[in-house]
């Protein structure tokens, strides 16, 4: 299987009105998505945020988890957070992956909306099992990735469907579900 990378995008994303905005980093997203990434074998988890003040907040949080106190307090959390890298843009993230893997990654975007070019979880599993290139799965904060991000994607993953019509999961929940579905044998034969 190819290397899987995850990107948590804070820009460009949309707000409730559909405008492109920058969102703030949240502690829960950083921790919980890192834990899912290490559980499901993601190579690196990128927090993508262009704001310098947000980078300072991120650095303060990550630097705590590099201390001896943190290692004593929760070594598993330290291990999970070691997967995280900070990048200013999606393009910077792609370049980082290209440096690590020697080629540009396939870009997979996620959304709660029905869109063109969407692939099922089973089809996505086939892509990552047969693909030589690394794969970057992008998740949007706020009300999701901006349309231009989806337009640049190689594939758009189908929405997660629940039992009810409500379809607005937290990004950390969505990331855990997607990672489970693309790595689980259950979804290979949909």
pLDDT along the chain (190 residues), means of 10: 93 96 96 96 97 96 88 88 96 98 96 91 88 95 97 95 85 96 72
- Three-state SS at 31: helix
Cβ atoms within 10 Å of 66's Cβ, excluding its own: 11
Q: 125: Cβ–Cβ under 8 A, 6 or more apart, which residues?
A: 182, 183, 187, 188
pLDDT for 189: 56
**Residue 73 Cα distances to 32, 68, 77, angstroms:** 17, 8, 9
Three-state SS at 164: coil
Please check whether residue 25 is in contact with residue 33, taking contact to mean a CB–CB distance below 8 angstroms.
no
- What are the residue ranges spanned by the domains of the chain? 4-185
**pLDDT of the residue at 187:** 63
The number of helices, as runs of H, and strands, as runs of E, in the chain is: 8, 9
The CATH fold assigned to 4-185 is Alpha/beta knot (3.40.1280)
């Amino acid at each position: 299987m190819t290397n899987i990378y995850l990107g948590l995008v804070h820009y460009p994303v949309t707000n409730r009105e559909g405008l492109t905005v920058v969102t703030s980093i949240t502690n829960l997203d950083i921790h919980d998505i890192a834990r899912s990434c290490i559980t499901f074998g993601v190579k690196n988890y990128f927090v993508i945020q262009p704001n310098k003040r947000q980078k300072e907040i991120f650095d303060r949080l990550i630097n705590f988890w590099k201390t001896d106190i943190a290692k004593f307090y929760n070594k598993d959390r330290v291990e999970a957070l070691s997967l995280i890298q900070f990048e200013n843009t999606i393009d910077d993230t792609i370049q980082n992956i290209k440096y690590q893997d020697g080629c540009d990654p396939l870009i997979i975007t996620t959304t709660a909306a029905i869109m063109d070019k969407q692939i099922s979880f089973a089809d996505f599993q086939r892509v990552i099992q047969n693909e030589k290139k690394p794969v970057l799965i992008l998740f949007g904060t706020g009300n999701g990735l901006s349309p231009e991000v989806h337009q640049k994607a190689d594939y758009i993953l189908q929405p997660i469907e629940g039992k009810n019509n409500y379809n607005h999961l937290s990004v950390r929940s969505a990331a855990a579900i997607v990672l489970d579905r693309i790595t689980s044998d259950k979804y290979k034969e949909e």
